[in-house]
Amino acid sequence: VKSVSFPPTIRDVAKHAHVSPATVSRVLNGNNGVRGPARMSVEKAIAELGFVPNLNARRLSLGKTFTIGVISPYFIQHSFVERLRGIESVIGKTEYDLIVFNVENVEQRDRYFANVARRERVDGLIIITLTPNTQHVEQFIRSKVPIVLVDAQHAKFTSICEDSIMGGWLATQHLISLGHRKIGFISDKFIDPFTGKSRGKLRYEGYEKAMQSAGLMIPSNYVMTGLSSRADARSMARTILTLPDRPTAIFAFSDIQAIGVMEAARELNLRVPHDLSVVGYDDIEMAEVMKLTTIHQSLFESGVLGAQKLLEQIEVKQFSNQPNMNTGSLQQVNIELRVRESTIAPSI
Partner DNA sequence: CTGTTAGCGCCTTCAA
Partner DNA sequence: TTGAAGGCGCTAACAG
Q: Does 28 bind DNA (CB under 7 A)?
A: yes
Query: Count of CB atoms within 10 A of residue 316's CB?
Result: 16
Q: Does 238 bind its own copies (CB under 8 A)?
A: no
Q: Does 26 bind DNA (CB under 7 A)?
A: yes
- CA–CA dist 21, 26 (Å, integer): 9
**Which is nearest to 174 in space by CA: 263, 79, 294?**
294
Q: How far is the CB of 85 from its own copies (least distance, A)?
A: 5
Length of the chain: 348
- Cross-strand bridge partners of residue 98: 68
Ramachandran angles phi, psi of 142, nearest 5°: -60, -35
Q: State which residue, 38 or 99, has the beta carbon closest to its own copies.
A: 99
Q: Does 19 bind DNA (CB under 7 A)?
A: yes
Identify what 23 binds: DNA, its own copies, none; CB under 5 to 8 Å per kind.
DNA
Q: State which residue, 104 or 329, has the beta carbon closest to its own copies.
A: 104
- CA–CA dist 204, 185 (Å, integer): 8
Whether residue 244 is preceded by a cis peptide bond, meaning omega within 30 degrees of 0, is: no
Residues of this chain, 30-49, that bind DNA according to CB under 7 A: 32-35, 37-39
- Cross-strand bridge partners of residue 251: 185, 279
Q: Does 339 bind DNA (CB under 7 A)?
A: no
Residue 279 · residue 293 · CB < 8 Å: yes
The footprint of DNA on this chain (CB under 7 A) covers a number of residues equal to 31
Ramachandran angles phi, psi of 181, nearest 5°: -125, -20
Q: Does 95 bind its own copies (CB under 8 A)?
A: no
Q: How far is the CB of 162 from its own copies (least distance, A)?
A: 20
The residue type found at 159 is S
Q: 147: Cβ–Cβ under 8 A, 6 or more apart, which residues?
A: 117, 124, 125, 126, 127, 140, 157, 158, 310, 324
Q: State which residue, 62 or 191, has the beta carbon closest to DNA.
A: 62
Single residue of 58, 144, 181, 189 touching DNA by CB under 7 A: 58
Residues of this chain, 286-315, that bind its own copies according to CB under 8 A: 286, 289-290
Q: 3: Cβ–Cβ under 8 A, 6 or more apart, which residues?
A: none
Q: Does 57 bind DNA (CB under 7 A)?
A: yes
Q: Which residues bind DNA (CB under 7 A)?
A: 5, 9-11, 18-26, 28-29, 32-35, 37-39, 51, 53-54, 57-58, 60-63
Q: Which residues bind its own copies (CB under 8 A)?
A: 7, 52, 54-57, 59-60, 65, 67, 75-76, 80-82, 84-85, 88, 92, 97-102, 115, 118-121, 230, 259, 263, 285-286, 289-290
